[in-house]
Amino acid sequence: MKGSKNIAGDRRRRRMITFLWTAVLSIVTIILIYKEMTALLYILATFGVTALLVVVAMADLAHSEKLTNDPRRSGDSAAIGSGITSTMGNNPSDR
């Protein structure tokens, strides 16, 4: 029981840190807009988007897909998207 309280406390602390960062960045953005420092805002926005793209590029998306138990997710995505019945695994040579 003590471990679950610690996990909940960590989540609450991380959530508060996220809210704090959001508030600070919002205030800085509002101040930059008010002071008409659009050039600086543009540069900061460019750095922000670049950082986001780097984070997404470094994410291990292929590894997380291997952990699913649904074989249709990776092998028969066309059938899932079109709503047709999956043909994957119905071929005797596949078995």
Helices then strands, each counted (H, E), the chain: 5, 0
- Residue 75, pLDDT above cutoff 70: no
The closest alpha carbon to 85, from 72, 69, 95, 68, belongs to: 72
pLDDT confidence of residue 7? 87
Which residue ranges make up each domain of the chain? Answer: 2-67
Q: What is the pTM of this model?
A: 0.52
Q: Where are the beta strands (DSSP E) in 1-92?
A: none
Mean pLDDT value across residues 62-88: 61
pLDDT confidence of residue 60? 76
Kindly report, residue by residue over 2-41, the tens digit of the pLDDT: 556 688 889 999 999 999 999 999 999 999 999 999 999 9
